[in-house]
Structure 1
Amino acid sequence: MVNLPIEYSDKQVTPFGGMSLMKRFVDQTGIRDYLQKLDLPQPGSNRGYCPEHIIESFWLGIWTGASRYIHCDWLRYDQTLHAIFGWDKMPSQSTYSRFFGKFNQARNTKIFPQLQHWFFDQIGVDNLTVDFDSTVITRYGDQQGSAKGYNPNKKGRNSHHPLMAFVGQTRMVANAWLRPGNTADSSSCKTFMQETFNEALKGKRIGLVRADSGFYTEELLDYLEKENQNYIMAARMYPNVKSAVLGLDNWMNLAKGIDLNEMVFNHLDGKPRRYIVVRKKIEDRPKAGGKLLFDELPGYRFSCYVTNLDLPLDQIWNIYNTRADCENGIKELKEDFGLENFCLQDFWATEASFRFIMVAYNLLSLFRHFALNHHNRATLKTLRVYYFALGAWQVNHANKKVLKIALPVKRRPWMDGIFAQIKNSSPPFVYSNA
């Protein structure tokens, strides 16, 4: 085997020439101008970075593969990437730490609902389906708020326990809070819902609210009903719920191994509500979700949902099942956006970076829908390989700076088509109801 000889060059080449697509799309959204209107921490000297530069650089680090602050340092040496975004230089790891360290509870509570409201105000979509969920982020140090609590993957480890609200039609995050790891599932959920509806999604009509069993409390059900919100929520299998389920008969067969039923049930401190029960036969559906509830019925798993919708049983269950897409969103945020790894000592600093990651995710969701509408389900990892990881360099041509992107001749019309799609995209970004 013959090895190619090695030589070196001073030519400034970037491995991310395709990020010029993302840069132009971000320009179309106008988010940089809006960031300047927010009460963001300002630099302490004339030589400091402006806040929108730090935030945009942070997003760029995430989009190009960073999952820790130290990874963002890699881009400081990429002069061509700087030129693509119009920067002379990029922040260091310590700059990000100092910037996010200036955030506190009051600033987070003020800034992020405003930013999310502005963002969704640019999107032409209404009658939203909002999915509420929580997740667990394992921590390996003694950061503020990290504590031992429910952690199914790393039992006994410290964690944070964030709340998240997704918009089903756009595959975006409407709101997100970081919480200590020992926080109960239902803690702060009502306040979180109120901020989501009244601030982040202010002016948008909510057509349906879906939530997992962590939100199943009488307080939240009462709140949704007083707000005239339609909802489907997974119910916790408390002993009295299990007893009522065990007494059901006349099951309706939906498909092989799946039976449906319904009941009107109320807890001691609650009012009667409609519950949909799904029974799955393990022999026929070995991978089906649900819980083993009864010694009398060892071959079945059960799921239970409470709703105020007056629809057939199968429709209720099918509507709730599409909520699984928000689980895919959480998975992508953890695997591709570094959600579990961007962590600082101060709790509110960590929450600030956590919530800016959500905006980076939303921008990418908007990009893949309107710039890559034929490929709008692709994850960031896929986009990075097929669209962003393109070698490029800068040259001077006729007294003008030009970005040269290394691309085979056959693929150049494809790339030109994406640039044209971006040029024709501008707020409001209207989602089809089809």
Structure 2
Amino acid sequence: MVNLPIEYTDKKVTPFGGMSLMKRFVDSIKIREQLSLLDLPERGSNRSYDPTHIIESFWLSIWTGASRFIHADWLRYDTTLHEIFGWDKMPSQSTYSRFFGKFSQKRNTSVFPSLQKWFFSQLQVNDLTIDIDSTVITRAGNQEGSAKGYNPLKRGRNSHHPLMAFVSQTRMVANAWLRPGNTADSSSCKAFLQETIEDVLSAKRIGLIRADSGFYTEEILSYIEQRKINYIIATRMYPNVKSEVYGLDDWVSICNGIDVSQMYFEHEAGKRRRYIVVRKEVEKRPKSGGKLLFEDLPGYRYSCYVTNMDLPLDAIWNVYNTRADCENRIKELKQDFGLENFCLKDFWATEASFRFIMVAYNIMSLFRHFALQSHNKATLATLKVYCFALGAWTANHANKKVLKIALNAKRRPWMDGIFAKVESLSPPFNYSNA
């Protein structure tokens, strides 16, 4: 087989010509104007980058595949991409480090709830289902806040333990806090819920909150009840809960190998509440979740949920099970948005980059829902292949600079249709609850 000869050209070509879609989309949602109103770090001199430019460049780096700050340097040499976004140049790795290093706890608390509140104000959707979850982010060094805690994949390694609130209807992140790695699941959760409910989503109706057993505390349950919000939360199998489950005898079969029951129970100094118990027969459901609770009943796994809803037993369980989609959101954030790798020495600097990643994720979720209506579940990796990774260059045509995109003739009408959708979009964005 003969190898093709190699030649070089000075022609300025970008591998991300499709990012002109995101440029137009960012224009349409007017997020730059909102960023300019926030308490962002001020420019050090007239020669330094505008904070809005740094943030938008950071998002662009993520959307094009960067998973570390050093990767952002790649785009500094892509002058065609600079022209698409109207920039003379892009920040370097050190610029990002200095910029995020200016964030403090006070600034993070000022900037991000306000930005997220504005973002969700652009969406016409109510009766939200909020899923609260946490994850583990393993760290290779000794960054501030990284500590040894629960780490199921890499035991004994330092980590951070962030807390996140997802909106099920829009597949977006409502709020996110970074926490030290040795933090318990329920630590700071009430304060986190207060910021999410009373600030970020204060203009929205919240119909349901779902969470795993890490958030099963009297403090959290009482707060949600005071807000008069429905909830379904997985229960920790404390000895007194386990004893109540053992005494159940009125099981109802809902399908092969799965039975449900209910009980009314109160912890010491707690409130009497409704609990839904699910029993799965191991032989018939070998891959089912739950815990083996009783030595004299080795053939069953049990799961338990506390709720203030009056729905039938199987409906409660089915409603809770759809919460598993937030695990897919976490997986995508880690795989496609670099959630695990954008890390700095200072804790609040790392949290600032962490929370800006969440905004980048929300913008992309909004884009794929309204610009790609038939592909609204596509991951960022898929979007890069079909929409963004398109060779392009600029050229002068009829005394006007145009972007030339290399695309097969059969796909051009499809791409033109996306451009037309993006150009016609403007807030508010109406989500259907159907």
Q: Indicate the TM-score class for this superposition, using the shorter chain for normalisation.
A: over 0.9
Amino acid at match of 1:114: S
Please state if 1:88 is matched with 2:55: no
The equivalent residue for 1:239 is: 239
The equivalent residue for 2:195 is: 195
* Alpha-carbon separation, structure 1, partners of 2:424 and 2:287: 45
Please state if 1:433 is matched with 2:425: no
1:111-126 correspondence to structure 2 within 5 Å: 111-126=111-126
* Alpha-carbon separation, structure 1, partners of 2:269 and 2:136: 30
The equivalent residue for 1:68 is: 68
Secondary structure at the aligned position of 1:323 is classed as helix
Amino acid at match of 1:6: I
* Alpha-carbon separation, structure 2, partners of 1:300 and 1:10: 68
1:92-103 correspondence to structure 2 within 5 Å: 92-103=92-103
1:326-405 correspondence to structure 2 within 5 Å: 326-405=326-405
1:166-315 correspondence to structure 2 within 5 Å: 166-315=166-315
The equivalent residue for 2:410 is: 410
Amino acid at match of 1:42: E
* Alpha-carbon separation, structure 1, partners of 2:74 and 2:289: 42
The equivalent residue for 2:105 is: 105
| Higher mean displacement: 420-429 or 62-71 | 420-429
1:157-168 correspondence to structure 2 within 5 Å: 157-168=157-168
* Alpha-carbon separation, structure 2, partners of 1:117 and 1:216: 27
* Alpha-carbon separation, structure 2, partners of 1:261 and 1:80: 62
Q: If the length of structure 1 is used for normalisation, what is the TM-score?
A: 0.99
* Alpha-carbon separation, structure 1, partners of 2:213 and 2:250: 26
The Cα shift of 1:352 comes to 0.2
Deviations 1:236-290 (A, max 9, x none): 1111111111111121111111111111011112111000011111221122111
Secondary structure at the aligned position of 1:338 is classed as coil
Deviations 1:97-116 (A, max 9, x none): 00000000000001100000
Secondary structure at the aligned position of 1:14 is classed as coil
Gaps of 5+ in 2: none
Secondary structure at the aligned position of 1:304 is classed as strand
Secondary structure at the aligned position of 1:263 is classed as strand
| Structure 1 residue runs of 4 or more that deviate by more than 6 Å after TM superposition | none
* Alpha-carbon separation, structure 2, partners of 1:233 and 1:266: 15
* Alpha-carbon separation, structure 2, partners of 1:268 and 1:321: 29
Secondary structure at the aligned position of 2:259 is classed as strand
The Cα shift of 1:333 comes to 0.4
* Alpha-carbon separation, structure 1, partners of 2:409 and 2:121: 40
Secondary structure at the aligned position of 1:203 is classed as coil
The Cα shift of 1:425 comes to 1.3
Secondary structure at the aligned position of 1:159 is classed as strand
The Cα shift of 1:216 comes to 0.4
* Alpha-carbon separation, structure 1, partners of 2:302 and 2:74: 49
Secondary structure at the aligned position of 2:244 is classed as helix
Deviations 1:292-323 (A, max 9, x none): 21111212211110000000011101111111
* Alpha-carbon separation, structure 2, partners of 1:34 and 1:398: 36
Please state if 1:56 is matched with 2:49: no
Please state if 1:320 is matched with 2:294: no
Amino acid at match of 1:157: R
* Matched residue count: 434
* Alpha-carbon separation, structure 2, partners of 1:41 and 1:414: 41
Amino acid at match of 1:123: L
Secondary structure at the aligned position of 1:38 is classed as coil
* Alpha-carbon separation, structure 1, partners of 2:71 and 2:208: 40
Deviations 1:140-197 (A, max 9, x none): 1110000011111111011111110000100000000000111111111000000001
* Alpha-carbon separation, structure 1, partners of 2:82 and 2:282: 56
Secondary structure at the aligned position of 1:129 is classed as strand
Secondary structure at the aligned position of 1:242 is classed as helix
* Alpha-carbon separation, structure 2, partners of 1:424 and 1:250: 58
Deviations 1:6-51 (A, max 9, x none): 1111011111111111111111100011101111001211100000
Secondary structure at the aligned position of 1:394 is classed as strand
Deviations 1:326-356 (A, max 9, x none): 1110110011100000000000000000000
Amino acid at match of 1:39: D
The equivalent residue for 1:2 is: 2
* Alpha-carbon separation, structure 2, partners of 1:85 and 1:76: 13
* Alpha-carbon separation, structure 1, partners of 2:353 and 2:308: 37
The equivalent residue for 2:35 is: 35
Secondary structure at the aligned position of 1:274 is classed as strand
Q: If the length of structure 2 is used for normalisation, what is the TM-score?
A: 0.99
The equivalent residue for 2:77 is: 77
